[in-house]
Structure 1
Amino acid sequence: MNGKDHRAPDELRRTLGLNDAVMVGLGSMIGAGIFTALAPAARAAGSGLLLGVAIAAVVAFCNATSSARLAARYPSSGGTYVYGRERLGEFWGYLAGWCFVVGKTASCAAMALTVGVYLWPEHAHAVAVAAVVAVTAVNYRGVQKSALVTRVIVAIVLAVLVSVLVAAFTSANADTARLEFASDITVFGVMQAAGLLFFAFAGYARIATLGEEVRDPVRTIRRAIPLALGIALLVYAAVVIAALLVLGPEGLSQASAPLTEVVRAADAAWLRPVVRFGAVVAALGSLLALILGVSRTVLAMARDRHLPHALAAVHPRFTVPHRAEVTVGAVVAVVAATADVRAVIGFSSFGVLLYYAVANVSAWTLTASEGRPVRAIPVAGLLGCLVLAFTLPLPSVLTGATVVALGAAIYSARKRISRSSAAPR
């Protein structure tokens, strides 16, 4: 090989091992739901919040299993955009990519705004834009540096969450009666809460979208996705139980900053600055990994000219899709400067749930020799995604459906123009 790099000009370098891949997934999940989605989920489910967590986890497990098998089969950047294209056809791949890019762009904005709200509430939008610029600069320097930063962030956030758990579980104000189910539970409310909480579990997709940068992808991806999901589920379940013990469903539903309210109610108010710091770090970690994943899907779609082909360029020194990253960062900065953090959660969940619906159908088409999961898993994942998507708050469903329809219309128009150009004159 003579030490030369024989990659194609737009091909990425495989540098991530199992630990790095798990940390990228955890960086996307740990923090997103804990600091932003708990209160609206509690408002929807009431005392059925734990049921909502369980349902979201089951759907996430099905999606993760389908994604892991597909990512091992197609270890290239793009995630379900690639899987849908290869297994179902060009349109379904495009639609999955469209749902992912718009949904996760909203997620990026939510995480940036979370940084602003916790760090400097009076200037939340300006801080959010600054956070996007800083994270984009880190990603521009290379995925190995991003993975290293993510590892540090995850360690800090887990330490903060452990301190919250200790304060809540040892508090004299903790009451197990607050965990009991009450008459306020409805099936629709629990499902809506699960859909909102799915926002917190979807980070394992970052591992799949980084498939082209993972060493030994068949082995690494199939292990990293369930590992990251399992760790996140344990953390989420513990934090939700702790929050319910000291606040109860009603108190949790009214909290603008749930975990700071948890430590206050647990008579550990001295931890509030620590929790605020943890929220900022967690949101930055999620933002870091989210922009990383969205830019890789943009790269894949640009390669196929569903997006401007110039975005498919890979930096010769840093070996990252630098134009895609800068473009994604710019769009996220604009959204973060104008949007409200709660308004984008439902919209993001709608787009990402449809994205995983395509992933589950794609996994169902795998043969046994291609590593097909048990048939029941993609079927349950598909049904779960559709049910959760359409039980989200009505504004989220209407806005999400409109944006998805717009994406389909753009695809159709582009195809008509392409056929017209190719027709003999």
Structure 2
Amino acid sequence: MSVTGRRATAPEPGAPQRTIGFGQAVALYSGAVLGAGVLVLPGQAATMAGPASLLAWLFMGLLGLPLATTFAALATRFPDAGGIATYAARAFGPTAGGLSGWFYFASAVAGQTVVPLTGGYYVAAALGAGPWFAYPIAAVILALAAAANLAGMRLSGRAQLVLAAGVALMLLAAALAALPRVSLDGFTDPAAFAPHGVAGVAEAAVVLFLAFAGWEAVAHLAGEFRDVHRDMRRATVATVAVVLVLYTGVAFAVVGTRTYGDPAVDRVAVGEVLGTGLGFSATVAAAVLATVISLGTTNTFLASTSRLAYALGRDGWMPEALTRRDARGVPVAGVLTVAGGGAAGLAISWAGGWGTEALVGIPASLVLVTYLAGMGAGVRLLQGRARAHAATALVLTAAIAPFAAKYIAVPAVVAAVAMAFRRKTGIRPVAKADEGHR
């Protein structure tokens, strides 16, 4: 199924290979969701809400469940490289599909600057270098992820298995290493449990939104699953369980050991817990963890966004050159375009002296709009329990949306660019999508 509703044709030479199995799917999901934010968000949320921040983690985990199951249901029913663009097109028409695709594409390209740069900062801190050193490290992370994707989904998926296992082991080690030092005093005293009241918990929940984002990424790879109907839902449920255990375990360790309360401490809270528990430098622990997480996240989003670029090029919303694939079905032009966008972002950030804190609002606002479109499509296209999950996620996401109002210009600019390109191509949208790829 295409974004514009064009009927699918027989597989052409160079069609994507179906190489993704259950284990690789869980690894890809984990890489998309367990981003570099896990290093700073436990401490930041605890500073905002105290031990009650665990309630914010629980709330966002509950939000993540209907988001995850909705995207899994849509991807299983409509396994197309367009992902969110395909679902929005089927539900609301090709223009909504094209704009949704652009929103997600722009957010993911911006993420290819933010995520590698986050890892670069931790490495620079561990080496005692200045902030400038984060940029070449980020470029190396981006280049490694691009090389893995250009080598094909088989290699990229296997690399993701290793990276995801490494992240899980290090986060689990951080949680377990903290247990002997955990104090429950903050949980038994009501005043200490929620020092900033309900408002503090709500503020922490908004910050944690991005910690549970990423469920949409694997949807763009659904057409490359060996058995999407068997593995997509299983992988989603397994990843939800893994993410909840790791996030809540790490958050509990940070709160229980009182490793928070100061911005400098919050930035390396997880590294501090891991390093203290295992007996080595917190900055080194954080740097290793940040590098592995950043590489895994960059690898996953390069894979998914390059497939989206292919779909948007196929359907007239981006240059047709993005539809070029090699003999293994790798959208080479898409991989290079997304990686090039990330590299350009690094260069601009370096020249302008902008850090991740100045950039993170861009992808966050676009992801929020994308989720609203995706959950709306789920309500329109799905039935039964899956539809109820989509409606629940739509309501919860809409409740968070007002807090992103200051970034409203970002999706507006992206929409204007998308429509300008569409008018330039002169391709008229197809009025109604067909039911191909059911």
Question: Scaled by the length of structure 2, what TM-score is found?
Answer: 0.85
Q: Please give the residue correspondences for 1:183-262 in structure 2 after superposition, counting only pairs within 5 Å.
A: 183-187=195-199, 189-247=200-258, 249-251=260-262, 254-262=265-273
User: Following TM superposition, by how much is the alpha carbon of 1:150 offset from its aligned partner in structure 2, in angstroms?
Assistant: 0.8
Which residue, out of 146, 163, 178, partners 2:186?
A: 178
Q: Distance in 1 between matches of 2:14 and 2:418?
A: 24
**Matching of residues 36-47 of structure 1 within 5 Å:** 36-47=40-51
The equivalent residue for 1:72 is 76
Contact 2:39–2:268 (8 Å) recurs in 1: yes
Aligned pair 1:323/2:333, yes or no?
yes
2:323 is aligned with 1:312: yes
- Residue pair 1:75, 1:218 contacting (<8 A) in 2 also: no
Counterpart residue type for residue 349 of structure 1: A
1:255 alignment partner, SS class: helix
Instruction: Find out whether 1:152 has 2:152 as its counterpart.
Output: no
Instruction: Give 1:74 deviation, angstroms.
Output: 0.5
The alignment partner of 1:328 has SS state of: helix
Name the structure 2 match of 1:409: 416
Q: Which amino acid in structure 1 is aligned with residue 156 of structure 2? A: S
**Cα deviation, residue 262, structure 1:** 2.3
Give 2:372's match in structure 1, choosing from 345, 348, 357.
357
Shift of 1:69: 0.9
How many angstroms apart in 2 are the aligned matches of 1:365 and 1:250? 44
1:24 and 1:408 map into 2 onto residues whose CA distance is 29
Offset, 1:235: 0.6
Moved more, 246-255 or 383-392: 246-255
- State the Cα deviation string for residues 234-277 of structure 1 (Å, max 9, x = none): 11000000011112552578422221222466584456534431
Gaps of 5+ in 1: 1-5
- Conserved? CA contact 1:199–1:348, under 8 Å: no
**Aligned residues: percent identity?**
27
What is the match of residue 286 of structure 1?
Answer: 297
Amino acid at match of 2:307: R
| Amino acid in structure 2 at the alignment position of 1:386 | A
Give the corresponding residue for 1:132. 142
Where in structure 2 are there 5+ consecutive unaligned residues?
Answer: 1-9, 430-438
State the Cα distance separating 1:185 from its structure 2 match. 2.6
Moved more, 264-273 or 124-133: 264-273
Following the alignment from structure 2 to structure 1, what is the Cα–Cα distance between the partners of residues 417 and 79?
28
Report SS of the residue matched to 2:215: helix
- 1:329 CA drift (Å): 0.3
What is the alpha-carbon distance in structure 1 between the residues aligned to residue 124 and residue 288 of structure 2? 11
What residue number does 2:174 align with? 164
Shift of 1:165: 1.6
How far 1:382 sits from its partner (Å)? 0.9
Per the TM alignment, residue 233 of structure 1 is displaced from its structure 2 partner at its CA by: 1.3
Contact 1:49 1:190 in 2 (8 A): yes
1:96 aligned to which of 100, 124, 136: 100
How far apart are 1:105 and its partner, in Å?
A: 2.2
2:24 to 5, 20, 23: 20
- Bigger drift between 32-41 and 203-212 goes to 32-41
Shift in Å at residue 278 of structure 1? 2.1
* Contact 1:132 1:329 (8 Å CA) reproduced: yes
DSSP-derived class of the 1:348 partner:
helix
Give how far 1:419 is off. Answer: 6.3
C-alpha distance in 2, partners of 1:73/1:242? 39
Q: Which amino acid aligns with 1:391?
A: F
Shift of 1:143: 0.7
Residues 1:60 and 2:78 aligned together: no
What SS does the corresponding residue of 1:247 show, helix, strand or coil? coil
Corresponding position: 1:120 with 2:124: yes
Q: 2:342 aligns to what?
A: 332
* SS of structure 2 residue aligned to 1:8: coil
Matched residue, 2:434: none
Is residue 2:313 matched to residue 1:302? yes
Alpha-carbon spacing, 1:182–1:195, altered in 2? closer, same or farther (3 Å): closer
Contact 2:141 2:294 in 1 (8 A): no
Asked if the contact 2:217–2:301 (Cα under 8 Å) also holds between the matched residues in 1, the reply is: yes
After superposition, what is the alpha-carbon deviation per residue over 1:6-35, rounded to whole angstroms, capped at 9, x for unaligned? 731463121111111111111222343312
More off after superposition, 332-341 vs 292-301: 332-341
Q: Deviations over 1:121-163 (max 9, x none)?
A: 4200121112111211111100110111111111222222222
Distance in 1, Cα, partners of 2:186 & 2:259: 5
Distance in 2 of aligned mates of 1:161 and 1:237: 10
Paired residues of 1:39 and 1:253 also in contact (CA < 8 A):
no
Query: In 2 relative to 1, CA 327–258 (structure 1 residues): closer, same or farther, beyond 3 Å?
Result: same
Give 1:3's aligned residue: none
> Counterpart amino acid of 1:350?
S
| Aligned equivalent of 2:89, options 75, 85, 92 | 85
Q: Provide the rounded CA distance (Å) in 2 between the counterparts of 1:229 and 1:8.
A: 35
- Please say if residues 263 and 272 of structure 1, whose CA atoms lie closer than 8 Å, have aligned partners that are also in contact: no
